[in-house]
Amino acid sequence: MSSPPPRSHGRIAVRASLAPRDLMAPAELASAWAAHVVTLFPEAFPGVLGLSLTGRALAEGLWSLRTIGLRDHGLGRHRNVDDTPAGGGAGMVIRADVLDAALRQADPALPILYLSPRGRPLTQARARALAQGRGVTLICGRFEGVDQRILDARGIEEISIGDYVLTGGELAAQVLIDATVRLIPRVLGNQDSLAEESFSHGLLEHPQYTKPAEWEGRRVPDVLLSGNHAAIAQWRADEAARLTKERRPDLWRAYQDGIDPAKDRSSRAHHTNRGTAASHDKDDCDEPDR
């Protein structure tokens, strides 16, 4: 008999197929890294976060997930959460008073991030910093965004996951959570993986190979089969440099300048970012929220 599907929303998300345990017990979760997500679609969570390493870590209490339904704090009989833009224009804007009511349900000690087209790019350094804290509250955008007054009043940081357009902030929130949770101690089975992956030392990661030694006429580089650890390390360093120069000249320039781009790129990119779209599609208004 197949196990029931994962619970997708509520005060905390768990995988129902695992052995029962009291995940609401304060003693278990008091020190766990916490993600509070304000969203119009609580059912989108945990999504992929409930699978594999992040899902296991969630079930084991290494981190916790809580969704806060924005619609629950809407106004009137229809629970309206948005209104027309001041000054005119297409689409709808999430109201400051509605979003503020939702945010009051989150832990006030956690930093608040809004997945926004105008945000500074998410970097590995930012994910590391978040992983070292207590957690984060994330706002998933929709429609034309949110009223600027709530961002100003609450000191909310805007953050972007890339130069492309999504229909909503839920996927962007899951990307940020995944990038952060995997850095929490004991989440990854092999912590050495963190030291070897892309961006950890300012360069992209070297190519990876495994068995068989030859596949469709293509061989694993001989040096990787030589057993000469010094030569292998040098090959990997050379390949990391080559790939970075070819694919990410911005990272290579920063590396050459002796700067850790994971620490520096976010501040410099802020001045050149022309509106990275990480949270919502300006054409996506579904239906007017009336």
Q: Is 161 annotated as a binding residue?
A: yes
Give the CATH number, domain containing residue 140.
3.40.1280.10
- pLDDT of 93 strictly over 80: yes
Q: In this structure, what token pair is assigned to residue 81?
A: 């959460």
Q: For 97-129, what is each residue's pLDDT tens digit?
A: 999 999 999 999 999 999 998 999 999 999 999
Whether residue 197 is found in the same domain as residue 244? yes
CATH number at 214 reads: 1.10.1270.20
* Best CA proximity match to 156, nearest among 101, 98, 80, 103: 103
Do 142 and 216 reside in the same domain of the chain? Answer: no
Q: Does the annotation list 141 as a binding residue?
A: yes
> pLDDT class for 189, splitting at 50, 70, 90?
confident
CA 199 to CA 254: how far, in whole Å? 12
Count of structural domains within the chain: 2
Out of 24-33, 110-119, 165-174, least confident range? 24-33
| Full residue range of the structural domain in which residue 231 is found | 192-261
Whole-angstrom distance, CA of residue 78 vs CA of residue 40: 14
**162 labelled as ligand-binding?**
yes
The rounded percent of the chain whose pLDDT value lies above 70 is 75
What mean pLDDT, rounded, does the chain reach? 84
Decide if 259 contacts 98 (C-beta within 8 A).
Answer: no
What is the per-residue pLDDT across 229-245, written as a single tens digit (0 to 9) for each? 999 999 999 999 999 99
**More confident position, 236 or 165:** 236
